[in-house]
Amino acid sequence: MERNRQRILLFIVFLLLSIIPLLFTHIGKEVMYRGDDLYFHLNRIEGLALGIRNGDYSPKINYFFLYGMGYGSPIFYSDIFLYPASLLRILGLSISNSYIIFLIGINFMTYLIAYYSFLFYKKVPFQAFLFAVLYGTASYRLSDLTERAALGEVLALTFIPLAFVGMWSIFEGDRDKFYLLSLGMSALILSHVLSAFIFSLFVLVYLLFNIRHIISEKTRLVAFFKAIGLTILLCLGFLVPLAEQVVQQSFTFQTNQVTQLSQEVGTIVDYLNIAIRNSGFNNIGLLMIGLLFFLGLNYSSFSKRAKQLLMIAGLFLFASTSFFPHRLLDNTLMNAIQFPWRLFSIVTFCICWLFAENYSLIIKKEYWRKLLSYGVMAIALVLVFTHGFFVADVERLVTKDQIEQLPSTFLGWGNEYIPSDTDLQELIQAPKTIRNSKGIKLENVTFDYGAVDLDYQIDEKDSKEAIVFPFIYYKGYQAKVNGKMLEAYNSPTFPGLSELRLSGKGTVHFAYYWTKLQLLSAAISTGTLLFLVVWLSKQNNKKQKIVNEKNE
Mean of pLDDT over the chain? 93
- Note the helical H segments in 278-365: 286-297, 304-319, 344-362
Strands 465-472, 435-436: pairing is: antiparallel
- Return the C-alpha torsion angle 266, 272, 276, 277, nearest 10: -10
Q: Find all residues with CB under 8 Å of 25, minimum gap 6, and list them.
A: 32, 33, 146, 388, 391, 397
- CA dihedral over 32, 37, 39, 45, signed as positive or negative: negative
- CA dihedral over 526, 532, 535, 537, signed as positive or negative: negative
Instruction: Please give the single-letter amino acid code of residue 73.
Output: S
Task: Measure Cα distances from 347 to 67, 279, 316, 336 in Å.
Answer: 41, 18, 6, 19
168 close to 121: Cβ distance less than 8 angstroms: yes
The gap between the terminal CA atoms of the chain, to the nearest Å, is: 22
Separation between Cα atoms, residue 52 and residue 50, nearest integer Å: 6
* DSSP H or E segment with residue 10: helix 2-19
Per-residue pLDDT at 319: 96
Q: Please give the average per-residue pLDDT across 494-521, as a whole number.
A: 95
Instruction: Please give the single-letter amino acid code of residue 238.
Output: F
For residue 73, give the nearest of 472, 463, 515 by alpha carbon: 472
Instruction: Indicate whether 552 pLDDT > 70.
Output: no
Separation between Cα atoms, residue 280 and residue 287, nearest integer Å: 15
Indicate the SS3 state at residue 321: strand
pLDDT single digits (tens) 458-492: 987 778 889 999 999 999 999 999 989 999 999 99
The pTM for the full model equals: 0.95
Query: In the 8-state DSSP scheme, what is residue 24?
Result: I
Q: What's the angle, vertex CA 243, arms to CA 177 and CA 327, rounded to 5?
A: 90
Per-residue pLDDT at 401: 87
- Residue 69 pLDDT level (bands cut at 50, 70, 90): very high
470 close to 445: Cβ distance less than 8 angstroms: no
Separation between Cα atoms, residue 140 and residue 373, nearest integer Å: 20
Q: What is the CATH number of domain 424-514?
A: 2.60.40
331 close to 283: Cβ distance less than 8 angstroms: no
pLDDT single digits (tens) 304-357: 999 999 999 999 999 999 999 999 998 888 988 999 999 999 999 999 999 999
pLDDT single digits (tens) 365-390: 999 999 999 999 999 999 999 888 77
Per-residue pLDDT at 469: 96
Per-residue pLDDT at 392: 60
- CA dihedral over 40, 44, 50, 53, signed as positive or negative: negative
Instruction: Indicate whether 168 pLDDT > 70.
Output: yes
- Return the C-alpha torsion angle 285, 291, 295, 296, nearest 10: 50
Partners of residue 465 on adjacent β-strands: 502
Largest CA distance in the chain: 94
For residue 95, give the nearest of 334, 423, 406 by alpha carbon: 406
Separation between Cα atoms, residue 122 and residue 140, nearest integer Å: 25
Q: Residue 257's Cα: distance from chain center in Å?
A: 20
pLDDT single digits (tens) 286-318: 999 999 999 999 999 999 999 999 999 999 999
DSSP character string of 161-203: HHHHHHHHHHHTS-GGGTHHHHHHHHHHHHH-HHHHHHHHHHH
